Structure 1
Amino acid sequence: MNPGGLAASAAINLGLAVVVLSLFSVLKRQPYNSPVYLAKCMSTGESMPGGWCRSSSTRCAVPSFAWIPAAFRLSEEEVIRMCGLDALVVLRLFKFGMKFFSVCSLVGLLILVPVNYASQESSDKARISHSLDSFSISKVERGSNWLWVHFSCLCIISFYVTYLLHKEYKEILEKRIQHLDLNRKRPDQLTVLVRGIPLCMEHREHGCYVDHFFSKHYNSTYHAYQIVHNRTNIEQLTNLANSIEQKIKRLRNKIERQRSSVFASAKTESIEKNEAKLKDIHRKIRGLQCGNMLRQKDLPVAFVTFKSRVGATLAAEAQQHENPLLLTTEHASEPKDVLWHNLDIPYQRLVIHRIGVFVAAFLLTVFFTIPVTAVQGIIQFEKIKQWFPPARAVQLIPGLNSILTGYLPSAILNGFIYLIPYAMLGMASLEGMVSKSKKEMKACSMVFYFLVGNVFFLSVLSGSLLNQIGESFAHPKEIPSRLASAVSAQSDFFITYILTDGMSGFSFEVLQFGFLTWNFLKGHLFSGESVQEPYLYGFPYYRVIPIVSLAILIGMVYAVIAPLLLPFLVVYFLLGYAVFLNQMQDVYEISYDTCGQYWPYIHHYIFVAVVLMQITMIGLFGLKSKPAASFATIPLLAFNIFFNEYCKKRFLPSFYHRPIQNAKVNDDLDEQEGTDKDWCEQAVTAYRPPWMFAVTSAEESCSSTEPLLVC
């Protein structure tokens, strides 16, 4: 890619960012856009922000970027209070990028860039460069002692990232323990999910076995159980009842707006028919909720509640049965985090589901090689013109060649990448995860490794293949050196990728263009709708974390090779932090809180990035005829691996296990306050499936039914 292409990409992305962010700041203050930009505030009933305009004024039409610096003034305690610890973990990922790449940028711009330029061969200096390779390691002479400067910078970067990772892991673990203590009244701290429950031989019921087993083996701490039942029929009726209730509500709103007696009479008749139908459905639901029906539909799954957190922790982390596939236990997720439909899947069949998901992900990975290779073909447009002369017609339009090779490839690639997280989330849904959080964590890993393989490795390999296909066959002895320079040759492309993903991608993220367009069309095509429903969705951890982690990986690999990439990454993380903090506050619902369990995944992704950086430098030093530097890098790699193993022993267990020490302290606090029995009863009720609560019709109401029958 020539400098013109890079300049075109930078100009387009910067221009788009300014326009889109200005448009967002104006549109957010318009009351009719509240369902898009203030969805979270509307759903929770919070007061609208001070910048929200209740009437038309010139101030509402003036763009403002005040929300960006305001994001950096918000304390971490306020973030946890408003959005939870998982949200803070995502923001700490952006802060990690800011800290790391700020230092790397200083090292790169002040040391590596001058060294790279000064240590070129004299013949290279005399030629006019058509790329930014003059400032990368690819132009350093083979065997040059200047390569020891690169090795020194690699050491600085490696030790600094180790320091940051240890600091972040330690601080987030401390916040996790504090967060668990502050939320000690959450029902999941007293509840255990039990799967693979055998049948009671006497009564032929799963519930009886659960009650007998835990009464016998945990007699001092066991409290109650909530058996899970097959939900198919009752859930269908419940969904049908909800849709009819919404229809009745809409009809009543129309009657209030239109005073015509003929219209009102017709709508009233329709309401009466729907109310009669709703009453009949409610009667069927109550029939399915009775004990006799539930006995026939119980599943080998139950939520078991304990009187103390110590009892729940011991039960969740011990093997209960001599057969490890029976009576498997784990800490229950929050009630709102549970995926009830996946509890129907037998525990023994989960392996089959995982194999199916792996095959589907592999096929998607193979399919994605087509657009990535096509993107690299556009970048290597100069070679394409040699092979296909009619393509030279593009040069007849001034500036089109720069746009075609600079902006278009990264825009196309980001467009395809945007779809990948949703595809992977759908696959993860088929794996049988019992909670949304576990499903999204699984999707995080699937998306990350997909992006590393397809976006990073395939971009480098396909780009180098197209670039070297002719000359490599003519000079086979030069293949190793050409492959060594291929990584640095792709730095221009990754600069445009970071610009597009950061400047344009984050800008369109905050604009919410899809929902904004639909809200506009809905307001004009269905103007009769008086009540605006917010477009509220859960925060997409599975999309944000892997894509940002990929940016960190790209930055680390190119930190020593092509340091001109690093300042763009600083801007990337600064803008990303402000955008996603705004989205957490006003747009996305934080539908669950795992108390920071996303951080071990993030730590692992960064560890992979460091390993790739060091392995790349080992090979590059060797191909630059500096074997001593290659051998000297191996201890750095070994140190990084040992550090990761240390973190697995020191920090990781506390993210998946709950310390008995803290559980006992919280139990003692409840006992002192006299609230221990109250929380047990609330925990039992909290894990009642949504379709098992009492239903009411317009003319009658019924008390809640108790689906649990203990023998």
Structure 2
Amino acid sequence: MDFSALMTSAGINIGLCALFLSLYSILRKQPTNVYVYFGRRIAQDHNRETECFTLDRLLPSPSWIFKAWENTESDILQCGGLDSVVFLRFLVFSIRIFSIAAIVCLFGVLPANYFGRDMLHKRIPFESLEVFTIANVIEGSRWLWVHCLALYIITFSSCVLLYHEYKSISRLRLAYIRNSPHNLSHFTVLLRSIPNSGVEMAGDTIRNFFGNYHGSSYLSHQLIYRTGKVQKLMSSAEKVYRKFVQLKLASCGLNTRQKLYRCGLCGGDKSIPFHFQRNEEDLDEKITDITTADIFQEQEGCLAAFVFFKTRYAAAIVSQLMQSPNPTLWVTDQAPEPRDVYWSNLSISYKCLWFRRVLMLIISVVFMFVFLLPVTFVQSLTQLTQMKKMFPFFRDILKMPMVTKVVTGYLPSVILLLFFYTVPPVMMLLSTVEGSISRSDRKKSACHKILYFTIWNVFFVNVLSGSLLTQLNAMTRPNDLATQLAEAVPKQATFFITYVLTGWVGLCSEIMQIFALIYTFVRRYICQLDDDPQLVPTFPYHTEIPKVLLYSLLGFTCSILAPLILPFLLVYFCLGYVVYRNQILNVYVCKYEMGGKLWPVVHNTTVFSLVLTQIIAIGVFGLKSSKFSSGFTIPLVIGTLLFNEYCRQRFYYVFTSLSVQDLIEMDREDEISGRMEYIHEELLSGYYKFFPAKDSNKSDICNVDDGATTATESNQFSSIFS
């Protein structure tokens, strides 16, 4: 690829970015799009402002950039939680480290690459991009020490910044734990594999076991049953209730138009209020038919239980210890927060979890290898000779200079990006089937899968070869992996530059919310339905964090090999910082928290990127017959690994466990202030408030057992209409 093809790709992407950002600045001002671009604020404030029409609504403006920039970190923490702060901190880290890398490499490494061999250079627009890479440096060149020195500066700066961020985010997590005194999950243990005695009820079995072995700290428990019939009625009741609320709001106006059902092309002759009144009467009749005996008939199908303890310390101890000599019975784990529980997975037998995890791992690996086909096709587009062989009828078209520049410089990265839109739904489905008991664990598991998938398919598969046979051949020679990477990465650096350029458009499409716009249009004008504030999405950390980490890996690995990628990466991270701040403040709602647990993923992947960069550099220096630079890089690899181990020992456990000191101090403060009694009362109903009626798979139900009496579910269901 020549420099003009790169500029063609840059021009197309810059034009699309300008178009998307201009459209966004106009569409965000339209009242009909308020639920798309200000969903979080509408859901939080429960109102929407109406403004008179002004000409300013039809003119693009950059005011949203200043509004997103002027908010402080405390505002971000309040709106999006600690996870959003962690995500933005990584973007800031990327801006800092690649600013340092850009200064060092553009003014030091790039001239060494460009003048690396004696040759007659063309004018820059007609130069091949390979002359700007390390491939242009002759063997045994004395200028290779510049690349080695640049690698040392980048690695040292990265370790310093990573340590600073790890330390700062660890403090934020400790503050997050200490500042959440009413977190019910700290007092709660999730109990699974409850043995069936065959004599007594499940509730009595749990009460007797924990009363016997944890009598001084045991408070109560809450059983979880499979009662699909009751849950189906609860789901219908909730829908009717929400429709009543919408009708009540609509009845405030003098003129109420009658809407059609479904697609808007056909409908009944009954009025909406009568329709919902009839539904309410039917539901009341069905609910009254369910007796206490029907519910207790399903007590043998007890899935799990939440066991509550009087102190945080007692719950933490129980969650960590094995409760019986048989490790498959009385299995305890720290319970998720009530809003974080993924109720449908509580029905999975504990003995089946290992089988599900192994099966999902196998499916994930198979999916990764199946994805070799589109990646191979994309790689063939970057090489004109292969394209002419594959598509002989396009030979005349490919002779046109502009078509060649578009096909080789723009089309491959776009096609690959479009293929990758199918990956997150598949990985989220696999993580769900895997058996995660919380929404945050499910999203974290999907994040890991997508991260491994993208690094393998975008980086390794692309750099190793452009043909499937060569890729398979490369995988059979793991000893030569470093040498193959050293040969291939400089050649594929131009493709990675165009991939980063396509990432600009991805950020602009994120802020445009194209899919949300289409969904809202179909819902409002075709299905004739009102906007629902409950449909505000959560931030897709499982897709955005792997995406940003991939671009970071490309920046590290190409920094000394092809420094031209660094300015484009800086633009990506700066644009992403503004875009994601805007989305966190206005669009996405924080429905549950991971408490910053994704930072170790970010840290470990960044260290992996550094080590991979150093290994590739060793291979490149070996190919260039520079033994001094190659040997001098080996201590850098060892030092980076030792740094990672130190950070793991120093900070990692803050993100995986709770400290005894913090738990006991929080317990003492609550006992002295008198809040402990209030927390104990809240425990009995805290998880029931987040009853799975709002979950996707509505098959489970909770039953509170306070150790003395058990309230019937029939009386609790009727409260949905109050």
Same fold? TM cut 0.5: yes
Give the Å deviation of 1:57: 0.8
Residue 199 (structure 1) aligned with residue 196 (structure 2): yes
Question: What does residue 491 of structure 2 align with?
Answer: 489
Q: Secondary structure at the match of 1:597?
A: coil
Residues 684 and 706 of structure 2 are in contact (CA less than 8 Å); yes or no, is this contact kept in structure 1? Answer: no
What pairs with 1:78-477 in structure 2 (closer than 5 Å)?
Answer: 78-118=75-115, 120-123=116-119, 125=121, 130-200=127-197, 202-203=199-200, 205-245=201-241, 257-258=256-257, 270-284=275-289, 287=291, 292-293=296-297, 295-299=299-303, 301-385=304-388, 390-395=393-398, 399-463=402-466
Distance in structure 1 (CA, Å) of the matches to 2:59 and 2:316: 55
Cα distance change on mapping 1:7 and 1:632 into 2, 3 Å:
same
Unaligned runs of 5+ in 2: 260-267, 472-480, 694-701, 710-722
Cα distance change on mapping 1:54 and 1:534 into 2, 3 Å:
farther
Distance in structure 2 (CA, Å) of the matches to 1:705 and 1:331: 19
Distance in structure 2 (CA, Å) of the matches to 1:19 and 1:534: 30
Residues 117 and 134 of structure 1 are in contact (CA less than 8 Å); yes or no, is this contact kept in structure 2? Answer: yes
Distance in structure 2 (CA, Å) of the matches to 1:107 and 1:30: 45
Residues 190 and 307 of structure 1 are in contact (CA less than 8 Å); yes or no, is this contact kept in structure 2? Answer: yes
Q: Per-residue CA shift, 1:365-386, capped at 9, x if unaligned?
A: 1221111111111111244337
Q: Per-residue CA shift, 1:601-625, capped at 9, x if unaligned?
A: 1112112211211111111111111
Distance in structure 2 (CA, Å) of the matches to 1:372 and 1:558: 20
Distance in structure 2 (CA, Å) of the matches to 1:595 and 1:17: 33
Cα distance change on mapping 1:670 and 1:453 into 2, 3 Å:
same
Give the Å deviation of 1:28: 0.6
Amino acid in the other structure paired with 2:300 = Q
Question: What does residue 55 of structure 2 align with?
Answer: 58
Cα distance change on mapping 1:667 and 1:269 into 2, 3 Å:
closer
Give the Å deviation of 1:363: 1.9
Q: Secondary structure at the match of 1:652?
A: helix
Q: Could you tell me the TM-score, scaled by structure 2's length? A: 0.88
Q: Per-residue CA shift, 1:546-602, capped at 9, x if unaligned?
A: 111111111111111111101111111111111112111211121211211111111
What pairs with 1:655-666 in structure 2 (closer than 5 Å)?
Answer: 655-666=655-666
Distance in structure 2 (CA, Å) of the matches to 1:355 and 1:150: 43
Q: Percent identity?
A: 34
Q: Secondary structure at the match of 1:304?
A: strand
Q: Secondary structure at the match of 1:209?
A: helix
Q: Per-residue CA shift, 1:72-109, capped at 9, x if unaligned?
A: 33222221112110111111121111111111111111
Q: Per-residue CA shift, 1:498-553, capped at 9, x if unaligned?
A: 1111x1001011101122123234443355x5565564112111101111111111
Unaligned runs of 5+ in 1: 469-478, 694-703
Distance in structure 1 (CA, Å) of the matches to 2:482 and 2:367: 31
Distance in structure 2 (CA, Å) of the matches to 1:412 and 1:184: 49
Residues 538 and 591 of structure 1 are in contact (CA less than 8 Å); yes or no, is this contact kept in structure 2? Answer: yes
Residues 105 and 563 of structure 2 are in contact (CA less than 8 Å); yes or no, is this contact kept in structure 1? Answer: yes
Amino acid in the other structure paired with 1:543 = T
Give the Å deviation of 1:330: 2.0
Q: Secondary structure at the match of 1:490?
A: helix
Cα distance change on mapping 1:289 and 1:525 into 2, 3 Å:
farther
Give the Å deviation of 1:46: 5.2
Residue 516 (structure 1) aligned with residue 521 (structure 2): no
Q: Secondary structure at the match of 1:651?
A: helix
Question: What does residue 476 of structure 1 align with?
Answer: none
Residues 9 and 407 of structure 1 are in contact (CA less than 8 Å); yes or no, is this contact kept in structure 2? Answer: yes
Question: What does residue 686 of structure 1 align with?
Answer: 686
Q: Per-residue CA shift, 1:207-237, capped at 9, x if unaligned?
A: 3332223223333322111122124332223
Deviates more, 1:81-90 or 1:319-328: 319-328
Residues 441 and 598 of structure 1 are in contact (CA less than 8 Å); yes or no, is this contact kept in structure 2? Answer: yes
Residues 692 and 707 of structure 1 are in contact (CA less than 8 Å); yes or no, is this contact kept in structure 2? Answer: no
Distance in structure 1 (CA, Å) of the matches to 2:538 and 2:575: 21
Give the Å deviation of 1:194: 1.9
Question: What does residue 472 of structure 1 align with?
Answer: none
Cα distance change on mapping 1:480 and 1:631 into 2, 3 Å:
closer
Give the Å deviation of 1:482: 8.7
Cα distance change on mapping 1:499 and 1:46 into 2, 3 Å:
farther
Amino acid in the other structure paired with 1:168 = E
Question: What does residue 699 of structure 1 align with?
Answer: none
Distance in structure 1 (CA, Å) of the matches to 2:241 and 2:625: 75
Cα distance change on mapping 1:5 and 1:231 into 2, 3 Å:
farther
Distance in structure 1 (CA, Å) of the matches to 2:8 and 2:682: 60
Q: Secondary structure at the match of 1:649?
A: helix
Give the Å deviation of 1:125: 4.2
Amino acid in the other structure paired with 1:26 = I
Amino acid in the other structure paired with 1:225 = H
Cα distance change on mapping 1:206 and 1:643 into 2, 3 Å:
farther
Give the Å deviation of 1:490: 0.9
Cα distance change on mapping 1:21 and 1:269 into 2, 3 Å:
closer
Amino acid in the other structure paired with 2:511 = V
Amino acid in the other structure paired with 1:487 = V
Deviates more, 1:214-223 or 1:103-112: 214-223
Matched length: 682
Residues 498 and 568 of structure 1 are in contact (CA less than 8 Å); yes or no, is this contact kept in structure 2? Answer: yes
Distance in structure 2 (CA, Å) of the matches to 1:225 and 1:30: 50
Q: Secondary structure at the match of 1:87?
A: helix
Cα distance change on mapping 1:315 and 1:465 into 2, 3 Å:
closer
Distance in structure 1 (CA, Å) of the matches to 2:656 and 2:662: 14
Give the Å deviation of 1:692: 8.6
Cα distance change on mapping 1:321 and 1:138 into 2, 3 Å:
same
Deviates more, 1:218-227 or 1:558-567: 218-227
Residue 562 (structure 1) aligned with residue 566 (structure 2): no
Distance in structure 2 (CA, Å) of the matches to 1:526 and 1:214: 53
Distance in structure 1 (CA, Å) of the matches to 2:281 and 2:535: 31
Q: Secondary structure at the match of 1:596?
A: coil
Residues 112 and 560 of structure 1 are in contact (CA less than 8 Å); yes or no, is this contact kept in structure 2? Answer: yes
Distance in structure 2 (CA, Å) of the matches to 1:483 and 1:690: 50
Cα distance change on mapping 1:467 and 1:566 into 2, 3 Å:
farther
Amino acid in the other structure paired with 2:61 = S
Distance in structure 2 (CA, Å) of the matches to 1:334 and 1:189: 8
Cα distance change on mapping 1:409 and 1:336 into 2, 3 Å:
same
Question: What does residue 500 of structure 2 align with?
Answer: 498
Cα distance change on mapping 1:483 and 1:220 into 2, 3 Å:
closer
Residues 97 and 552 of structure 1 are in contact (CA less than 8 Å); yes or no, is this contact kept in structure 2? Answer: yes
Distance in structure 1 (CA, Å) of the matches to 2:80 and 2:515: 24
Q: Secondary structure at the match of 1:223?
A: strand
Distance in structure 2 (CA, Å) of the matches to 1:425 and 1:94: 24
Q: Per-residue CA shift, 1:32-89, capped at 9, x if unaligned?
A: 11121111122222566xxx87121111222112322433332222211121101111
